[in-house]
Structure 1
Amino acid sequence: MPALPALLLSIHCVSFLLVTMAPRSLSQAPLLSSVRMAAILDDQWVCGRGERLALALARENINSVMEGPARARVEVDIYELQKDSQYDTTDTMCQILPKGVVSVIGPASSPASGSTVSHICGEKEIPHVKIGPEETPRLPYLRFASVTLYPSNEDLSLAIGAILRSFSYPSASLVCAKAECLLRLEELVRRFLISRETLSVRMLDDNLDPTPLLKEIRDDKVATIIIDANASVSYLILKKASELGMTSAFYKYILTTMDFPLLRLDDIVDEQSNIVGFSMFNTTHPFYLEFIRSLNLSWREGCDLTYPGPALSSALMFDAVHVVVGAVRELNRSQEIGVKPLSCTSPQIWQHGTSLMNYLRMVEYDGLTGRVEFNSKGQRTNYTLRILEKHRGGHKEIGVWFSNNTLAMNSTSLDINVSETLANKTLIVTTILENPYVMRKGNHQDLQGNDQYEGFCVDMLRELADILKFSFRIKLVDDGLYGAPEPNGSWTGMVGELINRKADLAVASFTITSEREKVIDFSKPFMTLGISILYRVQLGRKPGYFSFLDPFSPAVWLFMLLAYLAVSCILFLAARLSPYEWYNPHPCLRERRDLLENQYTLGNSLWFPVGGFMQQGSEIMPRALSTRCVSGVWWAFTLIIISSYTANLAAFLTVQRMEVPIESPDDLADQTNIEYGTIHGGSTMTFFMNSRYQTYQRMWNYMHSKQPGVFVKSTEEGIARVVNSKYAFLMESTMNEYHRGLNCNLTQIGGLLDTKGYGIGMPLGSPFRDEITLGILQLQENNRLEILKRRWWEGGQCPKEEDHRAKGLGMENIGGIFVVLICGLIIAVFVAIMEFVWSTRRSAETDEVSVCQEMLTEFRNAVSCKKSSRSRRRRPASGSAALRHPGRVTLGAPRPLRLVREMRLSNGKLYSGAGTLTGGAGPLVGGAGEGGGGGGGGAEGSAAADLGPGPQRILEFPLGASSTPPPPAPTPAPAMRSCSHVRICQECRRIQSLRGDTGLGSAVSTRIPPSSAPLPRLPPPPPPSSSNTDSEGGGGQSPRRPPTPRPVAPTQSSKTTDFLAEQD
């Protein structure tokens, strides 16, 4: 039977195989007595994330539910990574492989280390369970891939996009802690590109300072901010945003970290903050509360800090252990598996690794992080993300996102269309007392609230409140400072109150600076200005009554006086020495042809330069070349002097000279005699402290090192220091302008050192910023701000320096010339009174009347307004007068009184001529009526002399002469002397006609007793056509028609004329 040997041979072979291979099979795949796995931890927290405790809890939880003698206990070997490096990760894996593990879990924090672990596990076909974010860039899909419990990058992008779509966010800004965030959120970026909406991406620098990024976002007015960073960096960004005031209701934050519940934001957020994050915790899990309690107890034992809550990595560790154990159980049901040691240097692999990986992808488990399922790529699927919103004291769930890209929201608190306005709100306004911006009223003790204050900023606030329909309450800053940073990072003054939310607005002379812009927000500037230098100046002497003397110095006036005296003396001597200044004033009179006169008397020599200096001229004209030379140089001298005086007079009367020892910041920095400083803690101090300009650096070094200090606490203190000492105050130009208008001894040195503006301060992210800015722009367009500035800046005591128009002179400028005029008039009146008194006294002595009577008579004649001329007064002779003047006789008696015809020429010279005389030896004037022929010595009937037309004067004889002068001897009539002028002048014609008339006429002499007869009063000369003359007689003449004189013989008239010529 051939089949029997074959059967027996096959049984023998099977028995042999069973005998020989049984030990090998038992040693190679025995029933698992324990399930060993390795967990790699990279926990760098101070108190830990609880991952070690989570592994222990998972092990105890699994081991406690296993029953039967063949149960396999779970063992977890824990390895810690000290450094996030590929070498340390590889070394750790080389320590794990010889242990014979069925799976490797972790690490949680480092995607790069997780990628290294995945590569090594893939080579050895050991399943790797990831619990951290997916690495980027994504590696190509491997045949033996790992599974991950952490949401994929694609799911995270879809969840963020769903939130943005749900609330219709028009734009967003992405803040990345690492450059890989664009790869992680690739789907989100693609969605924005497709929808053409705006997504701005900003990267943190190596110093992890988010301040510049947040400032840029705020300037772009982007309300939605996506932060892709871990929990610690996210907290740092939110804290800085809170300091910048960007956690208000206007801003919305979406955090990509899954540890959002761990963030304790109570100290940096308020009720209006909108911060959204994700959470994977399944709060309905039966072991959730026990898990939280255990972690809390463990935290308290090893850490003094408040327990923040469970970390996602610890929950993922807990779920990873359950997932691996579940997959091993399922695989162990289908086949017996075993483990063996492996080595990094050996090419051996674990033959059950692929099977276990397939079972891991098929696991379905409800864990602490929700439903756990994997797709064919090992990515988690069919899970949910809870959407949480942060509030003070905790957070609340506002929606759920499902892995099938479905979003279920139960709150619309993040709707960006919900905006806040200033209408019907009451804002707290912090400010500081600073003239003229904010001041207390004079009666502020009797007032309350905002009524206590006035000023430019107060009026501007009222204008804004009327436009934007809000109310405000003014509150003075506690420390009286504008605001400066402290070494510990805090701020003082109004800036600190805005940061600490003690005030809603800061309205004052509040300078907008880059350093303040980092911590607070500003409106558009409502006033533009710059830093200027204020200093005290010494003004010139204030214009007084004698300011007209200022154009020349006292020395010049003295030399001018000496020049005047020298010219007068030289003119007098030159005129006396020159023969051409001696001339005959009466060339037509033969009697005075030898008489020479000189017009330059001492008085005229002094008067002539005065007329030339005053540019009024004089009736005295020089004749000689020497005197003309003196006059010419004096006139040239006066021309220059008067022109210079006129040119400088306006400047000296309208401009006050200022003496300033410095003219620019360079001059101020190059000297140490004048101290200079600014307000401590103000923007001006910050400007010099941060300046890189060499001059300003030297000024800052001086101010910073000067002892005693040159910084002041307020503007008033700085102004007082400028006025009372050598101190230059560095301040804003608007304040400089205001105080210069109040104190004329203050001036601005140089121009502006910089350009900046005043703005209204607000907490960063204030929802009212745009409304306040629009209100300020509206006030500027309506010119209201300019009107308010004029109201509070104008009205000072000093005129504007920019006003270069001609200014009118007041009495304080030229009053002195009126004083000089009044003094001159007083002197002239005094001299006139002295002349009047002296003349009347002499006249009273001569006429033997009282001085008072003479003065009264002369005063009446002087003040008569109806008479412009009067005749010489002749008083009746008394007995004593007859003794002093014994006789007034006719011409021809020995030494008689002479009747002389006088005529004043147009040039002021007095011409005297003889009249036609007739009669005998009797008196000149008779007692009554007309006389007849010449009876000698009788009291009546003497012929009167006809003096003809023209004024007359009587030349009296000395006292004691005979009252009956002898008649003159007959002399032949002199020949008529012709005029010596080149052309016969009018005066000569009149003299010739006068002589002809007197030669042919007759005179009647009337005897008048010397003791009682008054001197005859001669009538004015008749017209040339009339031949009648007044009689020299007594009361017989008619007042209407004077008596006709008697004709006189020609021979007698010629003798009389010849006698008069001899008497001259």
Structure 2
Amino acid sequence: MCVSAALLLLAAVSRVTVAVTLPPHTYQTPYHAQVWSCREVLATLMEQELLGCSFTIISVHDDFSAALTPFLVALMITHSRPYQVVSVGGGDDVRPAWHSTSCDVYVIVAKRLLVLSDLLDTDDDSWDWQGRYLMFTSSSSANDLQRLAVTYKLQKTTDVLFFIRGTSDSELAVYTHKMYSKRSLKLLTLWRDGGFVKMVDLFPNKVNDLRGQQVRVLAVNHAPSVFSIIDHLGLLHNVSGLDVKVVQGLGRALNFTPVFHDPGADLWGSILPNGTATGMVGQVHTDDSEMGIGNVFLTEVRARYITFTVPFDFERACFITPAPRPLPTWMAVSFPFTLNVWILLVGSVLGLTVLVPVFGAGLMVRDYQELHSLSASFLLILAQFSNQSTRRPARTPMQVLVGFIMMCGFVVSVFYSSNLTAFMMVRAVEQPYTSIRQIVQSELQVGGYSDFWLAIFQGSANQDVRSLSQKFFRFDNVTKFLQSIISRQGVLLENTKHLEYLQKTFLTNRVGESSVRLMLEECINPFGVGVMLKRNSPLKSSADTMIQRMREAGLVDKFFKEVLQEARGPATQLSSNTDVGAEGINPLTLQHIQGVFLVLGGGMCAAMLVLVTEKAVAAGKYCL
């Protein structure tokens, strides 16, 4: 195909008026009546449907185009419309450069439209998917139009009209195509005697009503986005899930029937070193499918091959980590205070043990003898901090000192006993994982469903996130990997809704205790989740509008809650079991108070050690 002439007259000719009023009998060609009807119908459309548009006239080298094109050019000049003329003919493969504006109309003139099949083979970026195409022909039949209407580009272009000869030379039959249909041709109306026989909408929004046509949708099984059963042909049955409900909602709104297929072993797909896309991305890119769903993240790399709807959900990539382990029960007596508080209390007791004898020695009249020895002083201070009564000092200065020690000891003992009661009734656990750095510094593996995360890790400016690439592990069996998380061997990286689904459905027992923890304190990149579409898909605009309405109405959140309720039934085979009494009673056991006996045992051992030491010292003196 060769461009032999290209004429561009823009708005600069808007003040030039050329009166072209050639009646049919003054332009005698075999096509004179049809040419005049074509001119009239285009003039009517320019005045009623195509106001403010620019025009590209594509004319084939044949006698019908030679007869009609001058009239169309004169029409453009008369109505002061910007236009360009592209004359097509010859054997060279040179494609016209089309200049897109807000309203582009392409008037294609050919004796036989099938000669333009090469024009429909242009690359996707050269085709104006939002343009309006008016095709005038003198010799093409309805069967010829049918062959054109089912071609890939016309199937994805909304506004296409065919004008062919009717029952007489002056009559035009106006056809359009049906999108996503093998029987694509539809007669709209007839042009006869200077007007349309039936007034119809020549440019309806076909995407808003696809008349029940089937649309192929690829879906990756990924809870809670997609649940399905795959047959041997790759068809999905018993399909459900959050993303499925969104697509089914689009189907009801736009009147199409989604047919779900499995994308194969490559799942979402990856980009090979030679630039080829595999999996769902590759299949949608090559038009093997119209849509793709299954927790599809909107990323720049994928956008080079396909496009997306507006996000129906916004997610963060977070981690499921092992649940914090319970602290040893023998440590229960130490739980009420932190290590710093215990150090302060021990230091206070030891300091007061020394202070009281020193203070007593400075009195003018000495108090009773017990307050002047370290051992007696230690027992006095210990009694005050244990809220036990002791002998009252005789001297006023010592009474003041001991009184304040009693007040301090009372507060400490009340705080300790209150907290101890609470800790006896609640299981104390170790500190959980709350940062990516803790995961990096641990020996845990970072598991994921695909290598998609490696590119995210390696492209991050955060050193901790980049370090995750060295710990990343792509697993094949999610059940086995969840068991490894429970056994404290790994963490799972995914979007929060998927992690929440796994935790509530499989990793939480009947009393609400989970064997894993959802770490939300620090996550990786936020992502939009949407529907994957073929680039330049005619569904995008209408799908975007419907998804926005779903979000505004709260339907996406409602869909997610429904999915959780539907999946909650089977449940907890991966969660740990917890023994709870029939009436919910949780009595104190030896495990709760074994720390008390450990303190008692430690004290008895200390007493025995002191006794043995005294005996040894006494025996040594006796020998001397």
What range is the shorter-chain TM-score in?
0.5 to 0.7
**What corresponds to 1:493 in structure 2?**
279
Distance 1:275 1:436 in 2: 40
Q: 1:752 to 1:647 in 2, by over 3 A?
A: farther
Contact 2:331 2:595 in 1 (8 A): no
Q: Report whether the alignment pairs 1:436 with 2:216.
A: no
Contact 1:512 1:757 in 2 (8 A): yes
**What corresponds to 1:475 in structure 2?**
261
Q: 1:271 to 1:775 in 2, by over 3 A?
A: closer
**What corresponds to 1:753 in structure 2?**
525
Q: 1:517 to 1:753 in 2, by over 3 A?
A: closer
Contact 1:278 1:386 in 2 (8 A): yes
Instruction: Provide Cα deviations, 1:517-556, integer angstroms capped at 9, x if missing partner.
Output: 67656444321235x3548579475474744513557797
Describe the SS at the equivalent of 2:202.
coil
Out of 162, 165, 176, the residue aligned to residue 44 of structure 2 is 165
Aligned-pair CA distance for 1:612: 1.8
Distance 1:677 1:212 in 2: 49
Q: 1:389 to 1:687 in 2, by over 3 A?
A: farther
Out of 419, 422, 431, the residue aligned to residue 657 of structure 1 is 431
**What corresponds to 1:550 in structure 2?**
335
Q: Report whether the alignment pairs 1:744 with 2:516.
A: yes
Letter in 1 for 2:431: R
Aligned-pair CA distance for 1:493: 2.7
Letter in 2 for 1:476: D
**What corresponds to 1:623 in structure 2?**
394
Q: Report whether the alignment pairs 1:226 with 2:99.
A: no
**What corresponds to 1:510 in structure 2?**
296
Return the TM-score normalized by structure 2.
0.54
Out of 575, 591, 613, the residue aligned to residue 385 of structure 2 is 613
For residues 232-311 of structure 1, what are the structure 2 equivalents within 5 Å?
A: 235=118, 239-241=122-124, 246=129, 252-254=132-134, 268=152
**What corresponds to 2:461 in structure 1?**
695
**What corresponds to 1:923 in structure 2?**
none
Letter in 1 for 2:279: G
Instruction: Provide Cα deviations, 1:124-150, integer angstroms capped at 9, x if missing partner.
Output: xxxxxxxxx67979999xxxxxxxxx9
Instruction: Provide Cα deviations, 1:149-180, integer angstroms capped at 9, x if missing partner.
Output: x9xxxx999957834735964568658699xx
Q: 1:200 to 1:495 in 2, by over 3 A?
A: farther
Q: Report whether the alignment pairs 1:415 with 2:181.
A: no
Distance 1:685 1:208 in 2: 41
**What corresponds to 1:1036 in structure 2?**
none
Letter in 2 for 1:438: V
Instruction: Provide Cα deviations, 1:579-610, integer angstroms capped at 9, x if missing partner.
Output: 95778xxxxxxxxxxxxx98999998676434
Describe the SS at the equivalent of 2:133.
strand
Letter in 2 for 1:622: P
Distance 1:184 1:673 in 2: 79
Higher Cα radius of gyration: 1
Structure 1 unaligned regions, length at least 5: 1-44, 46-107, 112-132, 141-149, 281-382, 584-596, 798-809, 826-1064
Letter in 2 for 1:789: F
Contact 1:245 1:764 in 2 (8 A): no
Describe the SS at the equivalent of 1:165.
helix
Contact 2:106 2:131 in 1 (8 A): no
Q: 1:412 to 1:598 in 2, by over 3 A?
A: closer
Contact 1:440 1:453 in 2 (8 A): yes
Q: 1:157 to 1:736 in 2, by over 3 A?
A: farther
Q: 1:727 to 1:764 in 2, by over 3 A?
A: same
Distance 2:472 2:434 in 1: 21
Q: 1:192 to 1:491 in 2, by over 3 A?
A: farther
Residue identity (%): 14
For residues 815-834 of structure 1, what are the structure 2 equivalents within 5 Å?
A: none
Q: 1:565 to 1:492 in 2, by over 3 A?
A: closer
Contact 2:358 2:372 in 1 (8 A): no
Distance 2:177 2:253 in 1: 35
Instruction: Provide Cα deviations, 1:81-103, integer angstroms capped at 9, x if missing partner.
Output: xxxxxxxxxxxxxxxxxxxxxxx
Instruction: Provide Cα deviations, 1:194-248, integer angstroms capped at 9, x if missing partner.
Output: 8xxxx999x9xxx9898996xxx8xx7x7x74278999999567644499995xx
**What corresponds to 2:511 in structure 1?**
none
Instruction: Provide Cα deviations, 1:477-524, integer angstroms capped at 9, x if missing partner.
Output: 224422556677764333444455554543321234566567656444
**What corresponds to 2:556 in structure 1?**
785
Q: 1:674 to 1:474 in 2, by over 3 A?
A: same
Instruction: Provide Cα deviations, 1:1031-1058, integer angstroms capped at 9, x if missing partner.
Output: xxxxxxxxxxxxxxxxxxxxxxxxxxxx
Distance 1:160 1:487 in 2: 54
Aligned-pair CA distance for 1:433: 1.1
Distance 1:641 1:186 in 2: 99
Instruction: Provide Cα deviations, 1:918-965, integer angstroms capped at 9, x if missing partner.
Output: xxxxxxxxxxxxxxxxxxxxxxxxxxxxxxxxxxxxxxxxxxxxxxxx
Letter in 2 for 1:268: Y
Structure 2 unaligned regions, length at least 5: 17-28, 59-69, 87-93, 508-514, 573-584, 601-624
For residues 536-685 of structure 1, what are the structure 2 equivalents within 5 Å?
A: 536=321, 539=324, 541-542=326-327, 544=329, 546-550=331-335, 552=337, 608-614=380-386, 616=387, 618=389, 620-624=391-395, 627-628=398-399, 631=402, 634-635=405-406, 638=409, 656-658=430-432, 662=436, 682=452
Describe the SS at the equivalent of 1:508.
strand
Contact 1:546 1:817 in 2 (8 A): no
Describe the SS at the equivalent of 2:394.
coil
Q: 1:276 to 1:419 in 2, by over 3 A?
A: closer
Q: 1:698 to 1:542 in 2, by over 3 A?
A: closer
Structure with greater proportional strand content: 2
For residues 805-820 of structure 1, what are the structure 2 equivalents within 5 Å?
A: none
Aligned-pair CA distance for 1:434: 1.0
Contact 2:220 2:267 in 1 (8 A): yes
Contact 2:266 2:278 in 1 (8 A): no
Distance 1:660 1:581 in 2: 58
Letter in 2 for 1:439: F
Q: 1:413 to 1:565 in 2, by over 3 A?
A: closer
Aligned-pair CA distance for 1:438: 1.6
Instruction: Provide Cα deviations, 1:553-591, integer angstroms capped at 9, x if missing partner.
Output: 7797589569758866986898799895778xxxxxxxx
Q: 1:453 to 1:257 in 2, by over 3 A?
A: closer
Instruction: Provide Cα deviations, 1:342-400, integer angstroms capped at 9, x if missing partner.
Output: xxxxxxxxxxxxxxxxxxxxxxxxxxxxxxxxxxxxxxxxx99999999999x99x99x
**What corresponds to 2:62 in structure 1?**
none
Instruction: Provide Cα deviations, 1:856-887, integer angstroms capped at 9, x if missing partner.
Output: xxxxxxxxxxxxxxxxxxxxxxxxxxxxxxxx
For residues 715-734 of structure 1, what are the structure 2 equivalents within 5 Å?
A: 716=478, 723=485, 731-734=494-497
Contact 2:326 2:428 in 1 (8 A): no
Letter in 2 for 1:165: T
Distance 1:259 1:714 in 2: 60
Distance 1:411 1:135 in 2: 35
